[in-house]
Amino acid sequence: MDRLKACEKCIQLSGSFLLWEVAVAQGTTRQHRGQVDLFLGTSADLEARSSNGCKSCCSILGSQNHVSLQERHGKVYGVSAHFRHKQPLLFIAWGNIDVNNENPAQRQASLFNFRIGMMLSTNPILANSVTGRGRPYNLDGYNISLIRRWLERCDKHHESTCSAQYQNLLLPKSKLSYIDVEDLCVVIPNKPVRYAALSYVWGSVEMPLAKKANITFLRLPGAFLKGSGVELPATIRDAVRLCAEIGIRYLWVDSICIVQDDMESKMEQIKAMGSVYANAYLTLVALASENANSSIPRVSQGRSSSDRSPFVHLPCQTVIDASQGAIGLPPMIHASTPWTKRAWTLQEKALSKRLLCLGPVASWACSGAQWVEDLEVLSETEGQPAFTEAEDKKSIPEWPDMARYSHLASSYASRRLTMPEDTVNAFEGIMTPMEHYFPKGFLFGTPEFLFDIGLLWQHRRRGAKPRSGLDWADKKHEFPSWSWISHHGLHLQTFWEADYVYPHPDLIISPLVKWKKQNKDTEEWEEVDNSYHVVRKHFEEPDTATPDHWTKHSELDPPYYQSSAFSHVQPSPKFSYPIPIPQHPLGTSIGSYYPHLLFEGSLARVRFQFRGTAKERDTSNEKLLENALVPEMEIVNVVDGAWVGRIRLDMQPGSRLPEYEEEQEVIAISEGKITVNAARENSFTSEAKDRDEIRLDNDWYKFINVLWIGRTKDDKVYRKALGRIWLEAWEKMSVEQVSLLLT
């Protein structure tokens, strides 16, 4: 940019930033003595300098939505620049603080108070830097040659991680249909083909579907040509065009490739939908599309004149506003998009080998790398490995890893379903491959081998609602209250610590109940496996023989075990004791069961006491008129009012806190123990911090896990909340043995 068209502030910013870019590239930021925090003036100052001809001030101002800024910070607000050690190298902070608003160092210490524009440096000097170099892009179309290069890089350098994943996951018995992007019709190839799958949001709009009445026409070449009578929705049309441009001839799209009114074939393919994505060469993610009629950005429609430019032009360089893209972070972090809120897309994301995410910028995620259109990194240009965190890719665990399963469950619980009857179907694609590693598979999303542990969950913050939208007490539900999978909430908290992991977790669970499930086909009752404790006890004997496929390692104390069944996982997981190796092959059904369980065990009557003053209780009830609350309450003995435990309630809008005088019913589901020191730090056992009853000289805090239950109109009971009762208090309480159907 011509320096005569830039103000002194922008020249100072650009020069200082240029020196910083050199220091980052050379690894000499510790020796850098120049400015790293600069106050650029108020928004009014930038407007005045822009009016006087400063193109940089104009460009900086154009990068923000000033209406929303003024709503938060007033008509005039400060603007400052702050340099960082890694991309994005430049933060531009917008907003005001109460004191020292024009002090750049003070503003740097208060960045959380501001709106931040995150700017990627495009300086060529960063081309070989580990931090990467910002890459300008065409606003009117994706960089097709770059996407082709990503595909080539992955094929060449990630064969071990991205080519064979879930290769044994079974496709439907009937052959798949695809859209042929060259002949523009539906085809059924006679042999396996390389295909892309589209992951998108249907929405509530009307769209053409494959049906028995039109499928013959859809198979005619040119069926999807403009004017043919069948117009593909914009999202699908753009995906077809993109596939043609990147050289993938076949595209699988559920609405067009599944005959929607052929129910037998449709259900077979829905159950195998996870395998469709797992076997796809590439999955296209319509990240920003709100429904099937929304076009994919930068494919068929260019940038709107009302869109803000992501490019900020300084006197000596151009920087890219990365807040419109993936900002060098995992490309899946787009929390506000419709795609990330839809339940079905979780299995599509988790099972896909390669994800090409199509938002304001294109981004890539596979098991070997994460790349983004606006940031060039060494793993992309030189083929160097780029590790992908499992939490970000949300991949399927390939051994019985409860921690990874917990992440998947939490993500699913926060996502929305249009049709409640899909509660299990939409997660089945994730459970199917995991059944190969978890003994006895899953019962409504809960691992049978670890059933007691799988019942230990709750929701925080705004709690959770039944996915059915119905009251548990009034209606018959297709899915169980006792399983996390039946509830929709943004903050699922699990306590799923399998004690076969090495080293042992702090929390140890032991059984109290022989759970039974009822088979829908035979009407017979069968025991839920729940045998984690049997296997654990068996290997407590030091001379117990090591089973086949397991190796005992005694170089550490205590010793650990590893299994050849999990040798494909690197690093190979360590176990505290061997567990059964599942025998059922991938894709086999384990059975169909009613949602209720037979509970035969102990029931106690208790009261709940609010933790706070009467005024605070009244305030909570007022909040419950419109908001959800998840308050912790004390559990007290109905006989003498003595404290016995603690429970976290899940109260939805329109409800009221339980009155102290009301008796509540709880059932004992398992026994737990945790060291007192660990209990004080564990959010599951908050009572260990502040209750004198839990003696500080004890090594262990022992307790009973209980469910607060309600009664249904058909004489069953349902789960209302999870709590704990101190074991010493439980043993003194009056309990009764009951037989109940827990639905």
**Number of domains comprising the chain:** 3
Q: Domain containing 483: what range?
A: 420-498+506-549+591-743
Q: Would residue 168 count as lying in a domain?
A: yes
- 3-state SS string over 691-708? CCCCCCCCCEEEEEEEEE
Residues 122 and 164 placed together within one structural domain of the fold: no
* 10-19, 74-83, 330-339, 476-485: least confident range: 330-339
Please report which confidence band the pLDDT of residue 591 belongs to, taking 50, 70 and 90 as the band edges: low
Q: What is the pLDDT of residue 232?
A: 95
For residue 120, the one-letter residue type is L
State the DSSP H helix or E strand holding residue 39, giving kind and residue range, or none if neither: strand 37-42
CB 246 within 8 A of CB 269: no
Range name among 51-55, 181-185, 237-241, 565-569 with the lowest pLDDT average: 565-569
pLDDT of residue 385 exceeding 70, the answer is no
Give the pair of three-digit tokens for residue 346. 């979780």
C-alpha dihedral, 264 to 270 to 276 to 278, nearest 10°: -140
Contact 719, 709 (CB under 8 A): yes
Calculate Rg over the CA atoms of the chain: 29
**148 shares a domain with 126:** no
Question: Among the three residues 107, 134, 161, which one is the final residue of a domain in this structure?
Answer: 134
The verdict on residue 565 lying in a domain is: no
- 454 and 346 co-located in one domain: no
Given this model, what pLDDT does residue 171 score?
64
Strand partners, 312: 319
SS (H, E, C) 7-29: CHHHHHHHHHHHHHHHHHHHCCH
3-state SS assignment for residue 450: coil
Nearest to 132 by CA among 339, 370, 368, 301: 370
Q: Where are the alpha helices (DSSP H) in 164-251?
A: 215-218, 234-246
DSSP three-state, residue 121: strand
DSSP state of 97: -
Q: Are 526 and 460 in the same domain?
A: yes
Q: Is pLDDT at 157 greater than 60 in this prediction?
A: yes
Out of 197-206, 221-230, 478-487, the most confident range is 478-487
Nearest to 393 by CA among 364, 427, 421: 364
d(CA 482, CA 454): 10
Do 150 and 127 share a structural domain? no
Question: What pLDDT, on a 0 to 100 scale, did the predictor assign at position 381?
Answer: 76
The dihedral over CA atoms of 286, 292, 295, 300, expressed in degrees to the nearest 10, equals 100
End-of-domain residue from the set 134, 160, 186: 134
Single pTM value for the model: 0.85
Is residue 408 assigned to a domain?
no
121 and 157 share one domain? no
- Is there a single domain that holds both residue 127 and residue 159? no
Does the residue 723 lie in any domain?
A: yes
Q: Are residues 175 and 110 in the same domain?
A: no
Residue 608 lies in a domain: yes
Two tokens at 698? 């004890």
Residue 398 lies in a domain: no
What pLDDT, on a 0 to 100 scale, did the predictor assign at position 322? 84
Q: With H, G, I as helix, E, B as strand and everything else as coil, classify residue 388.
A: coil
On whether residue 72 sits in a domain, the answer given is: yes
Per-residue pLDDT of 59-98, as tens digits, reads 999 999 899 999 999 999 999 999 999 999 999 999 999 9
Residue that terminates a domain, selected from 109, 134, 159:
134
Q: What is the pLDDT of residue 327?
A: 40
Span 567-595, mean pLDDT? Answer: 78
Each residue's pLDDT tens digit, 710-739 = 999 989 999 999 999 999 999 999 999 999
Question: Do the beta carbons of residue 44 and residue 94 sit within 8 Å?
Answer: no
Q: Both 387 and 438 in a single domain?
A: no
Give yes or no: residues 246 and 389 share one domain.
yes
Within-domain flag for 403: no
- Token pair, residue 719, equals 């789960």
Percent of the chain with pLDDT over 70: 92
User: Do 464 and 370 fall into the same domain?
Assistant: no
Residue 61 shares a structural domain with residue 178: no
User: 137-156 burial, b if ≥16 CB within 10 A, otherwise e?
Assistant: bebeebbeebbeebbebbee
CA angle 323, 327, 333 (to 5 degrees): 90
Beta bridge partners of 717: 711, 742
pLDDT of amino acid 170: 59
- Taking residues 218-229, what's their average pLDDT? 92
